[in-house]
Amino acid sequence: MPTKKITTICIILTTSLLTACATNNPVQITGTPPSRSVYFSATNDAPTEELQAEEAGPTPFAVLHKQEFAGLGKFEPSDGVYLGAWLRPYTTFREFEGMVGRRHAVYVYEMHLGDEIPVNWLLQCMAVLATPLLIIHPPVETTIFYIDNTPPPTIPIETQIIALAQRLGALNLPMFVAFLPLGHGLDAGEYTTLFRYARGVFRDVAPLAAFTWVAPGTNATPSSAFFPGANAVDWVGVALFSERDEYGFAQDIIEVFEPFYRAFSGHHPIMILPLGVSHISSADYVFNLECASHELERVYSQLSTTFPRVGLIAYGDAFFMTAETSDGFSITLDKELTETYQHIIQDDHFITTLEKNTPAERSPRWVRSHFHGYYFDGQTYVDVRTLNNELRVNPPRSTTAINGRPFAEAGRIAGFDISTCEAHRIIFVE
Protein backbone atom coordinates (compact mmCIF):
# COMPACT_ATOMS: atom_id res chain seq x y z
CA MET A 1 0.00 0.00 0.00
CA PRO A 2 1.32 3.52 -0.67
CA THR A 3 2.80 5.22 2.36
CA LYS A 4 1.02 8.53 1.86
CA LYS A 5 -2.23 7.60 0.19
CA ILE A 6 -3.13 4.78 2.53
CA THR A 7 -2.98 7.03 5.58
CA THR A 8 -5.96 8.83 4.14
CA ILE A 9 -7.99 5.69 3.51
CA CYS A 10 -11.20 5.62 5.46
CA ILE A 11 -14.44 3.73 5.08
CA ILE A 12 -17.56 5.70 5.81
CA LEU A 13 -20.56 3.42 5.60
CA THR A 14 -23.71 5.10 4.36
CA THR A 15 -27.25 3.88 3.89
CA SER A 16 -27.94 3.26 0.23
CA LEU A 17 -31.26 3.09 -1.55
CA LEU A 18 -30.05 0.04 -3.45
CA THR A 19 -28.95 -3.36 -2.15
CA ALA A 20 -27.31 -6.24 -3.96
CA CYS A 21 -25.83 -9.61 -3.15
CA ALA A 22 -23.99 -12.03 -5.38
CA THR A 23 -25.78 -15.30 -6.07
CA ASN A 24 -25.33 -18.07 -8.54
CA ASN A 25 -27.11 -15.91 -11.09
CA PRO A 26 -26.14 -12.30 -11.79
CA VAL A 27 -28.20 -9.80 -9.84
CA GLN A 28 -29.29 -6.80 -11.86
CA ILE A 29 -28.68 -3.46 -10.19
CA THR A 30 -30.20 -0.48 -11.91
CA GLY A 31 -29.31 3.15 -11.79
CA THR A 32 -27.12 5.44 -13.86
CA PRO A 33 -23.90 6.78 -12.32
CA PRO A 34 -23.98 10.58 -12.18
CA SER A 35 -22.34 12.16 -15.18
CA ARG A 36 -20.79 14.74 -12.88
CA SER A 37 -19.47 14.39 -9.34
CA VAL A 38 -20.24 17.98 -8.39
CA TYR A 39 -22.68 20.48 -9.78
CA PHE A 40 -23.81 23.73 -8.24
CA SER A 41 -26.43 26.02 -9.63
CA ALA A 42 -25.44 29.53 -10.64
CA THR A 43 -28.02 31.03 -8.30
CA ASN A 44 -27.79 29.40 -4.88
CA ASP A 45 -24.72 27.14 -5.15
CA ALA A 46 -26.72 24.19 -3.82
CA PRO A 47 -26.83 20.68 -5.31
CA THR A 48 -29.73 20.34 -7.67
CA GLU A 49 -32.63 17.96 -7.05
CA GLU A 50 -31.66 16.15 -10.23
CA LEU A 51 -28.17 15.47 -8.89
CA GLN A 52 -29.56 14.32 -5.54
CA ALA A 53 -31.76 11.82 -7.36
CA GLU A 54 -28.82 10.59 -9.43
CA GLU A 55 -26.61 10.12 -6.40
CA ALA A 56 -29.14 7.67 -4.98
CA GLY A 57 -27.93 5.22 -7.63
CA PRO A 58 -24.56 3.45 -7.72
CA THR A 59 -21.66 5.90 -7.91
CA PRO A 60 -18.49 4.98 -9.81
CA PHE A 61 -15.21 4.73 -7.92
CA ALA A 62 -11.72 4.86 -9.39
CA VAL A 63 -9.90 1.52 -9.14
CA LEU A 64 -6.15 1.58 -8.43
CA HIS A 65 -3.97 -1.51 -8.61
CA LYS A 66 -0.25 -2.23 -8.50
CA GLN A 67 1.80 -2.77 -11.67
CA GLU A 68 5.51 -3.05 -12.43
CA PHE A 69 7.08 0.10 -13.90
CA ALA A 70 10.50 0.41 -15.55
CA GLY A 71 11.58 3.34 -13.43
CA LEU A 72 10.23 6.87 -13.12
CA GLY A 73 10.26 9.72 -15.58
CA LYS A 74 12.81 12.52 -15.28
CA PHE A 75 12.12 14.34 -11.98
CA GLU A 76 8.90 12.34 -11.54
CA PRO A 77 8.05 12.09 -7.83
CA SER A 78 8.02 8.58 -6.41
CA ASP A 79 4.78 9.44 -4.62
CA GLY A 80 2.75 12.63 -4.47
CA VAL A 81 2.23 15.71 -6.61
CA TYR A 82 4.45 18.77 -7.06
CA LEU A 83 2.79 22.04 -6.09
CA GLY A 84 3.14 24.54 -8.92
CA ALA A 85 1.83 28.00 -9.73
CA TRP A 86 1.57 30.30 -12.74
CA LEU A 87 1.51 33.79 -11.24
CA ARG A 88 0.66 37.26 -12.46
CA PRO A 89 3.77 39.17 -13.63
CA TYR A 90 4.04 41.43 -10.59
CA THR A 91 3.38 38.80 -7.89
CA THR A 92 6.60 37.68 -6.23
CA PHE A 93 7.08 34.12 -5.08
CA ARG A 94 7.53 35.15 -1.46
CA GLU A 95 4.36 37.25 -1.60
CA PHE A 96 2.38 34.35 -3.07
CA GLU A 97 3.73 31.80 -0.62
CA GLY A 98 2.99 34.20 2.22
CA MET A 99 -0.65 34.36 1.10
CA VAL A 100 -1.14 30.60 0.62
CA GLY A 101 1.00 29.50 3.54
CA ARG A 102 3.26 26.96 1.85
CA ARG A 103 6.23 26.73 -0.45
CA HIS A 104 5.75 25.58 -4.03
CA ALA A 105 8.04 23.27 -5.93
CA VAL A 106 7.58 24.79 -9.41
CA TYR A 107 6.84 28.20 -10.94
CA VAL A 108 5.93 28.94 -14.56
CA TYR A 109 7.35 31.54 -16.96
CA GLU A 110 6.50 32.18 -20.63
CA MET A 111 9.09 33.36 -23.16
CA HIS A 112 9.87 33.27 -26.87
CA LEU A 113 12.84 31.82 -28.67
CA GLY A 114 15.26 34.68 -29.13
CA ASP A 115 14.31 36.38 -25.85
CA GLU A 116 16.94 36.91 -23.21
CA ILE A 117 16.63 34.34 -20.47
CA PRO A 118 14.78 35.76 -17.42
CA VAL A 119 17.75 35.98 -15.07
CA ASN A 120 15.98 37.91 -12.31
CA TRP A 121 13.04 35.50 -12.38
CA LEU A 122 15.39 32.51 -12.25
CA LEU A 123 17.17 34.06 -9.27
CA GLN A 124 13.78 34.35 -7.55
CA CYS A 125 13.27 30.62 -8.12
CA MET A 126 16.66 29.84 -6.65
CA ALA A 127 15.98 32.09 -3.65
CA VAL A 128 12.86 30.11 -2.67
CA LEU A 129 14.35 26.74 -3.72
CA ALA A 130 11.77 26.34 -6.50
CA THR A 131 12.23 24.70 -9.89
CA PRO A 132 11.57 26.85 -12.99
CA LEU A 133 9.17 25.69 -15.69
CA LEU A 134 9.85 27.62 -18.90
CA ILE A 135 7.22 27.65 -21.64
CA ILE A 136 9.07 28.33 -24.90
CA HIS A 137 7.03 29.88 -27.73
CA PRO A 138 8.20 30.37 -31.33
CA PRO A 139 10.29 33.45 -32.15
CA VAL A 140 8.40 36.73 -32.45
CA GLU A 141 8.34 38.05 -36.01
CA THR A 142 10.11 41.40 -36.04
CA THR A 143 8.73 44.49 -37.74
CA ILE A 144 11.92 46.52 -37.31
CA PHE A 145 13.71 47.62 -40.51
CA TYR A 146 17.04 49.27 -41.16
CA ILE A 147 17.27 52.84 -42.50
CA ASP A 148 17.45 51.58 -46.07
CA ASN A 149 14.18 49.64 -45.51
CA THR A 150 15.88 46.24 -45.59
CA PRO A 151 14.78 43.75 -42.95
CA PRO A 152 17.29 42.47 -40.40
CA PRO A 153 18.93 39.12 -41.13
CA THR A 154 16.82 36.15 -40.09
CA ILE A 155 18.39 33.93 -37.45
CA PRO A 156 17.60 30.27 -38.16
CA ILE A 157 15.37 28.76 -35.51
CA GLU A 158 17.86 25.92 -35.02
CA THR A 159 20.51 28.50 -34.08
CA GLN A 160 18.14 30.09 -31.58
CA ILE A 161 17.42 26.69 -30.02
CA ILE A 162 21.14 26.02 -29.60
CA ALA A 163 21.72 29.46 -28.07
CA LEU A 164 18.86 29.02 -25.59
CA ALA A 165 20.03 25.54 -24.57
CA GLN A 166 23.58 26.79 -24.05
CA ARG A 167 22.45 29.69 -21.86
CA LEU A 168 20.16 27.51 -19.77
CA GLY A 169 22.66 24.67 -19.57
CA ALA A 170 25.31 27.03 -18.24
CA LEU A 171 23.11 27.63 -15.17
CA ASN A 172 23.40 23.95 -14.19
CA LEU A 173 19.88 24.22 -12.79
CA PRO A 174 17.19 21.50 -12.86
CA MET A 175 14.16 22.77 -14.77
CA PHE A 176 11.17 21.85 -16.89
CA VAL A 177 11.05 23.06 -20.49
CA ALA A 178 7.63 23.05 -22.18
CA PHE A 179 8.74 23.46 -25.78
CA LEU A 180 6.49 25.03 -28.42
CA PRO A 181 2.94 24.50 -27.18
CA LEU A 182 0.73 23.93 -30.21
CA GLY A 183 -0.97 26.81 -31.97
CA HIS A 184 2.07 28.06 -33.87
CA GLY A 185 1.05 27.38 -37.47
CA LEU A 186 3.60 24.64 -38.19
CA ASP A 187 2.43 21.49 -39.89
CA ALA A 188 2.86 18.16 -38.10
CA GLY A 189 6.04 17.17 -39.93
CA GLU A 190 7.77 20.51 -39.31
CA TYR A 191 6.68 20.57 -35.69
CA THR A 192 7.76 17.06 -34.70
CA THR A 193 11.10 17.44 -36.53
CA LEU A 194 11.79 20.71 -34.72
CA PHE A 195 10.71 19.30 -31.34
CA ARG A 196 12.95 16.26 -31.68
CA TYR A 197 15.84 18.46 -32.80
CA ALA A 198 15.40 20.69 -29.74
CA ARG A 199 15.18 17.66 -27.46
CA GLY A 200 18.48 16.37 -28.82
CA VAL A 201 20.19 19.73 -28.35
CA PHE A 202 18.95 20.09 -24.77
CA ARG A 203 19.90 16.52 -23.96
CA ASP A 204 23.50 17.32 -24.93
CA VAL A 205 23.82 20.94 -23.77
CA ALA A 206 21.28 21.28 -20.94
CA PRO A 207 20.85 17.75 -19.58
CA LEU A 208 19.09 18.95 -16.40
CA ALA A 209 16.05 20.09 -18.41
CA ALA A 210 13.03 17.78 -18.39
CA PHE A 211 11.35 18.19 -21.77
CA THR A 212 7.57 18.57 -21.77
CA TRP A 213 5.15 18.19 -24.67
CA VAL A 214 2.05 20.33 -24.09
CA ALA A 215 -0.97 18.75 -25.73
CA PRO A 216 -3.40 20.98 -27.66
CA GLY A 217 -6.31 19.58 -25.66
CA THR A 218 -7.61 16.61 -23.74
CA ASN A 219 -8.61 14.84 -26.96
CA ALA A 220 -4.94 14.33 -27.90
CA THR A 221 -3.47 10.81 -28.02
CA PRO A 222 0.00 9.35 -28.65
CA SER A 223 -1.13 8.58 -32.20
CA SER A 224 -1.59 12.30 -32.91
CA ALA A 225 0.47 13.51 -35.86
CA PHE A 226 1.80 16.30 -33.62
CA PHE A 227 3.08 13.99 -30.88
CA PRO A 228 6.87 13.94 -31.30
CA GLY A 229 7.34 10.41 -29.96
CA ALA A 230 7.85 8.86 -26.54
CA ASN A 231 11.66 9.03 -26.71
CA ALA A 232 11.56 12.81 -27.24
CA VAL A 233 9.26 13.55 -24.29
CA ASP A 234 9.91 13.39 -20.55
CA TRP A 235 6.53 14.75 -19.39
CA VAL A 236 3.19 15.39 -21.07
CA GLY A 237 1.25 18.51 -20.10
CA VAL A 238 -2.33 19.62 -20.66
CA ALA A 239 -4.43 22.60 -19.56
CA LEU A 240 -7.58 21.97 -17.50
CA PHE A 241 -9.98 24.87 -17.01
CA SER A 242 -13.24 24.39 -15.15
CA GLU A 243 -15.19 27.15 -16.87
CA ARG A 244 -18.61 28.52 -16.03
CA ASP A 245 -21.65 29.43 -18.03
CA GLU A 246 -24.92 30.92 -16.81
CA TYR A 247 -25.99 27.51 -15.42
CA GLY A 248 -22.83 26.55 -13.56
CA PHE A 249 -19.72 24.65 -14.58
CA ALA A 250 -19.91 23.80 -18.26
CA GLN A 251 -18.33 20.35 -17.91
CA ASP A 252 -16.71 18.03 -15.42
CA ILE A 253 -13.00 18.42 -16.12
CA ILE A 254 -12.20 15.19 -14.26
CA GLU A 255 -14.34 13.24 -16.72
CA VAL A 256 -12.78 15.17 -19.61
CA PHE A 257 -9.28 14.46 -18.33
CA GLU A 258 -9.72 10.73 -17.72
CA PRO A 259 -9.33 9.46 -21.35
CA PHE A 260 -6.32 11.75 -21.82
CA TYR A 261 -4.73 10.29 -18.72
CA ARG A 262 -5.48 6.78 -19.88
CA ALA A 263 -3.83 7.50 -23.24
CA PHE A 264 -0.53 8.90 -21.92
CA SER A 265 0.04 7.68 -18.35
CA GLY A 266 1.47 4.32 -19.42
CA HIS A 267 4.64 5.99 -20.69
CA HIS A 268 4.86 9.50 -19.20
CA PRO A 269 4.21 11.44 -16.02
CA ILE A 270 1.57 14.11 -16.57
CA MET A 271 1.46 17.75 -15.51
CA ILE A 272 -1.62 19.97 -15.42
CA LEU A 273 -0.38 23.16 -17.07
CA PRO A 274 -2.30 25.05 -15.88
CA LEU A 275 -5.29 24.18 -13.73
CA GLY A 276 -8.01 26.79 -13.34
CA VAL A 277 -11.36 26.84 -11.55
CA SER A 278 -13.62 29.73 -12.48
CA HIS A 279 -15.42 31.85 -9.91
CA ILE A 280 -16.77 34.48 -12.35
CA SER A 281 -17.63 34.40 -16.03
CA SER A 282 -18.57 36.96 -18.62
CA ALA A 283 -21.61 34.77 -19.27
CA ASP A 284 -23.32 36.30 -16.21
CA TYR A 285 -20.73 38.41 -14.32
CA VAL A 286 -21.87 36.81 -11.05
CA PHE A 287 -19.30 35.81 -8.43
CA ASN A 288 -19.71 32.19 -7.29
CA LEU A 289 -17.05 31.92 -4.61
CA GLU A 290 -18.58 29.12 -2.54
CA CYS A 291 -19.22 27.10 -5.67
CA ALA A 292 -15.64 27.65 -6.86
CA SER A 293 -14.25 26.64 -3.45
CA HIS A 294 -16.11 23.33 -3.53
CA GLU A 295 -14.96 22.65 -7.08
CA LEU A 296 -11.37 23.57 -6.26
CA GLU A 297 -11.31 21.07 -3.39
CA ARG A 298 -12.94 18.35 -5.47
CA VAL A 299 -10.61 18.74 -8.45
CA TYR A 300 -7.41 18.81 -6.39
CA SER A 301 -8.61 15.80 -4.40
CA GLN A 302 -9.47 13.77 -7.51
CA LEU A 303 -6.36 14.68 -9.50
CA SER A 304 -3.97 14.00 -6.64
CA THR A 305 -5.46 10.76 -5.33
CA THR A 306 -7.08 8.90 -8.22
CA PHE A 307 -4.57 9.66 -11.00
CA PRO A 308 -1.23 8.29 -9.72
CA ARG A 309 0.92 9.65 -12.58
CA VAL A 310 -0.26 13.23 -12.25
CA GLY A 311 3.03 14.50 -10.88
CA LEU A 312 2.59 18.28 -11.10
CA ILE A 313 -0.34 20.67 -10.85
CA ALA A 314 0.47 24.29 -11.70
CA TYR A 315 -2.44 26.50 -10.70
CA GLY A 316 -3.16 29.34 -13.15
CA ASP A 317 -3.43 32.29 -10.78
CA ALA A 318 -2.44 34.60 -13.66
CA PHE A 319 -5.62 33.88 -15.63
CA PHE A 320 -8.34 36.39 -14.83
CA MET A 321 -10.76 37.44 -17.60
CA THR A 322 -8.04 38.01 -20.17
CA ALA A 323 -8.11 37.95 -23.95
CA GLU A 324 -7.50 34.18 -23.76
CA THR A 325 -10.36 33.43 -21.37
CA SER A 326 -13.60 35.13 -20.37
CA ASP A 327 -13.48 33.55 -16.89
CA GLY A 328 -11.71 34.55 -13.70
CA PHE A 329 -9.49 31.80 -12.28
CA SER A 330 -7.24 33.70 -9.86
CA ILE A 331 -7.29 32.45 -6.27
CA THR A 332 -5.32 35.30 -4.70
CA LEU A 333 -7.76 38.10 -5.57
CA ASP A 334 -10.34 36.83 -3.06
CA LYS A 335 -9.80 35.86 0.56
CA GLU A 336 -12.26 32.94 0.51
CA LEU A 337 -10.55 31.26 -2.45
CA THR A 338 -7.09 31.93 -1.02
CA GLU A 339 -8.10 30.26 2.24
CA THR A 340 -9.59 27.30 0.37
CA TYR A 341 -6.39 26.80 -1.62
CA GLN A 342 -4.35 27.25 1.55
CA HIS A 343 -6.33 24.46 3.19
CA ILE A 344 -6.04 22.14 0.18
CA ILE A 345 -2.27 22.29 -0.18
CA GLN A 346 -1.51 21.49 3.48
CA ASP A 347 -1.93 17.79 2.66
CA ASP A 348 1.44 16.04 2.83
CA HIS A 349 0.68 14.41 -0.52
CA PHE A 350 1.60 17.73 -2.16
CA ILE A 351 5.37 18.10 -2.60
CA THR A 352 7.25 21.37 -2.22
CA THR A 353 10.74 20.39 -3.44
CA LEU A 354 11.96 18.67 -6.60
CA GLU A 355 12.99 15.02 -6.43
CA LYS A 356 16.25 15.08 -8.38
CA ASN A 357 17.30 11.46 -8.01
CA THR A 358 14.73 9.10 -9.47
CA PRO A 359 15.18 5.33 -9.36
CA ALA A 360 15.76 3.47 -12.62
CA GLU A 361 14.99 -0.05 -11.42
CA ARG A 362 11.63 -1.70 -11.92
CA SER A 363 9.27 -1.15 -9.03
CA PRO A 364 5.55 -1.63 -8.43
CA ARG A 365 3.45 1.51 -8.67
CA TRP A 366 -0.21 2.35 -8.44
CA VAL A 367 -2.04 2.36 -11.76
CA ARG A 368 -5.53 3.64 -12.47
CA SER A 369 -7.70 0.97 -14.04
CA HIS A 370 -9.39 1.74 -17.34
CA PHE A 371 -12.65 0.64 -15.72
CA HIS A 372 -14.57 1.98 -12.75
CA GLY A 373 -15.69 0.01 -9.73
CA TYR A 374 -18.56 0.63 -7.33
CA TYR A 375 -19.03 0.88 -3.59
CA PHE A 376 -22.49 0.93 -2.07
CA ASP A 377 -24.46 -0.70 0.71
CA GLY A 378 -21.14 -1.59 2.39
CA GLN A 379 -19.98 -3.73 -0.55
CA THR A 380 -17.14 -3.13 -3.03
CA TYR A 381 -17.41 -4.26 -6.65
CA VAL A 382 -14.66 -4.53 -9.27
CA ASP A 383 -15.32 -4.64 -13.01
CA VAL A 384 -14.65 -8.07 -14.49
CA ARG A 385 -12.64 -6.36 -17.24
CA THR A 386 -10.20 -5.06 -14.61
CA LEU A 387 -9.64 -8.64 -13.46
CA ASN A 388 -9.40 -10.16 -16.94
CA ASN A 389 -7.56 -7.45 -18.88
CA GLU A 390 -5.33 -5.82 -16.28
CA LEU A 391 -4.81 -8.14 -13.32
CA ARG A 392 -4.80 -11.27 -15.50
CA VAL A 393 -6.90 -13.31 -13.08
CA ASN A 394 -10.13 -15.19 -13.54
CA PRO A 395 -13.20 -13.55 -11.98
CA PRO A 396 -15.29 -15.49 -9.48
CA ARG A 397 -18.01 -17.67 -10.93
CA SER A 398 -20.70 -15.58 -9.25
CA THR A 399 -20.90 -11.97 -10.41
CA THR A 400 -23.24 -9.03 -10.01
CA ALA A 401 -24.56 -7.06 -12.98
CA ILE A 402 -24.46 -3.30 -12.55
CA ASN A 403 -25.92 -1.27 -15.40
CA GLY A 404 -25.59 -4.26 -17.68
CA ARG A 405 -21.92 -5.03 -16.91
CA PRO A 406 -20.65 -7.95 -14.76
CA PHE A 407 -18.86 -6.99 -11.54
CA ALA A 408 -17.15 -9.13 -8.93
CA GLU A 409 -17.80 -8.56 -5.25
CA ALA A 410 -14.49 -7.86 -3.48
CA GLY A 411 -15.01 -10.61 -0.91
CA ARG A 412 -15.18 -13.21 -3.69
CA ILE A 413 -11.89 -12.15 -5.38
CA ALA A 414 -9.19 -14.46 -4.05
CA GLY A 415 -5.55 -13.44 -3.66
CA PHE A 416 -6.02 -9.66 -3.35
CA ASP A 417 -6.27 -7.20 -0.49
CA ILE A 418 -9.06 -4.81 -1.50
CA SER A 419 -9.84 -1.67 0.48
CA THR A 420 -12.08 1.31 -0.17
CA CYS A 421 -11.77 5.01 0.53
CA GLU A 422 -15.24 6.44 0.24
CA ALA A 423 -14.05 9.99 0.97
CA HIS A 424 -11.98 10.05 -2.25
CA ARG A 425 -14.02 7.43 -4.12
CA ILE A 426 -11.13 5.00 -4.60
CA ILE A 427 -10.95 1.21 -4.55
CA PHE A 428 -7.42 -0.09 -3.87
CA VAL A 429 -6.60 -3.58 -5.20
CA GLU A 430 -3.29 -4.91 -3.88
- Give the rounded distance of the alpha carbon of 204 from its chain centre: 29
Which residues lie below 8 Å from residue 353, measured CB to CB, with a gap of 6+?
103, 105, 129
- The percentage of the chain sitting over the pLDDT mark of 70, rounded to a whole number, equals 80
Pairwise CA distance, residues 178 & 176, whole Å: 6
- Write down the domain spans for the chain: 6-69+364-429, 80-358
Half-sphere exposure of 92 (CA within 13 A, CB side): 9
- Average of pLDDT values for 403-422? 90
Pairwise CA distance, residues 161 & 180, whole Å: 11
Pairwise CA distance, residues 393 & 416, whole Å: 10
**Exposure class string for 272-300: b at 16+ Cβ within 10 A, else e:** bbbbbbbbbbebeeeebebbbbbbbbbbb
Q: What is the pLDDT of residues 124-151, one digit of tens each?
A: 999 999 999 999 999 876 544 555 666 6
Given a cut of 90, whether residue 234 has pLDDT beyond it is yes
| Cα-Cα-Cα-Cα dihedral sign, residues 334, 335, 341, 342 | positive
Rounded to the nearest 5 degrees, what angle is found at the Cα of 100, between the Cα atoms of 97 and 106? 50
Pairwise CA distance, residues 149 & 217, whole Å: 41
Query: Are 303 and 296 contacting, i.e. CB atoms less than 8 angstroms apart?
Result: no
Q: What is the pLDDT of residues 179-227, one digit of tens each?
A: 999 767 788 999 999 999 999 999 999 999 999 999 999 999 999 999 9
Pairwise CA distance, residues 355 & 342, whole Å: 23
Residue 195 DSSP SS3 = helix
Pick from 395, 420, 216, 245: nearest CA to 326: 245
Q: What is the pLDDT of residues 82-134, one digit of tens each?
A: 999 999 988 999 999 999 999 999 999 999 999 999 999 999 999 999 999 99
pTM of the model as a whole: 0.82
Query: Phi and psi of 55, rounded to 5°?
Result: -70, -10
Pairwise CA distance, residues 43 & 287, whole Å: 10
Which residues lie below 8 Å from residue 149, measured CB to CB, with a gap of 6+?
none
Query: Are 327 and 282 contacting, i.e. CB atoms less than 8 angstroms apart?
Result: yes
* Domain covering 80-358 in this structure, CATH number: 3.20.20.80
Q: What is the pLDDT of residues 310-342, one digit of tens each?
A: 999 999 999 887 666 778 899 999 999 999 999
Q: What is the pLDDT of residues 357-394, one digit of tens each?
A: 665 656 678 889 999 999 988 889 999 999 999 899 99
Pairwise CA distance, residues 57 & 375, whole Å: 11
Q: What is the pLDDT of residue 247?
A: 80
